[in-house]
């Protein structure tokens, strides 16, 4: 699935089809048809985290995620998004889509570097339990650390009895 750029959009470096911007004002693919499971993308900064939650919650409901699992998915996406703008880069990108295997997927990208294991342990002692929480409630969490930034993929089955915590 791909997000098609709006007329006049140049596309983003991390997600083709997303408008360039500072992240200070949320611009998303909201204008696209509201098909259930239609991909949804947005740029965000720390001030936009409440909007990340609202967008994720509305999208998860339209995609057909059962209510209890949708709540868990929203929390996991928020935690990873918060980590992206707290530890990665001032702005990040979120892409929500239905994966081929009957699961919802959130992809959070930032331009920061994944910390070494020692730093991760220190973060856990100072709060930093978002990744652990995401791993607890999601069926799959994948981290891709590269020179250009870090991508975290969260997947949760649309079926009520997925591998995450049942609801």
Q: 145: which residues sit within 8 A by CB, 6+ positions away?
A: 113, 114
Query: Domain-by-domain residue ranges, the chain?
Result: 40-157
Token pair listed for 42: 């947005």
The residues pairing with 104 across neighbouring beta strands, listed in sequence order, are 98, 156
Based on its alpha-carbon atoms, the radius of gyration of the chain, rounded to whole angstroms, reads 15
pTM of the predicted structure, to 2 decimals: 0.73
DSSP tag of 113: -
Q: Which of 118, 71, 108, 111 is nearest to 88 (CA)?
A: 111
Q: Report pLDDT digits (tens) over 116-143.
A: 553 455 455 556 788 999 999 999 999 9
CA–chain centroid gap for 14, Å, is 13
Q: Report pLDDT digits (tens) over 34-45.
A: 456 789 999 999
Of 119 and 154, the one with more pLDDT? 154
Q: What does the alpha-carbon distance between residue 99 and residue 162 come to, in Å, rounded to a whole number?
A: 14
DSSP tag of 114: P
* Pair 46, 120: CB distance under 8 Å: no
Q: What does the alpha-carbon distance between residue 15 and residue 70 come to, in Å, rounded to a whole number?
A: 24
Q: Does domain 40-157 have CATH number 3.30.565.10?
A: yes
* H-type alpha helices, the chain: 49-63, 67-83, 117-125, 130-137
Cβ-based burial of 60 (10 A; exposed 0-12, middle 13-18, buried ≥19): buried
Q: Report pLDDT digits (tens) over 43-71.
A: 999 999 999 999 999 999 999 999 999 99
């Amino acid at each position: 699935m791909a997000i098609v750029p709006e007329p006049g959009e140049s596309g983003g470096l991390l997600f083709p089809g997303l408008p360039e911007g500072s992240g200070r004002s949320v611009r998303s693919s909201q204008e696209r048809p509201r098909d259930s499971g239609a991909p949804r993308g947005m740029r965000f900064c720390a001030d936009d985290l409440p909007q990340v939650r609202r967008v994720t919650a509305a999208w998860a409901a339209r995609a057909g995620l059962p209510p209890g699992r949708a709540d868990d998915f929203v929390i996991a996406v928020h935690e990873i998004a918060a980590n992206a703008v707290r530890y990665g880069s001032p702005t990040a990108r979120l892409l929500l889509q239905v994966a081929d295997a009957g699961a919802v997927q959130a992809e959070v990208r930032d331009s920061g570097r994944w910390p070494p294991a020692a730093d991760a342990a220190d973060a856990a002692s100072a709060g930093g339990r978002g990744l652990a929480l995401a791993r607890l409630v999601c069926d799959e969490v994948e981290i891709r650390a590269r020179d250009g930034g870090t991508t975290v993929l969260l997947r949760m089955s649309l079926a009520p009895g997925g591998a995450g915590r049942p609801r």
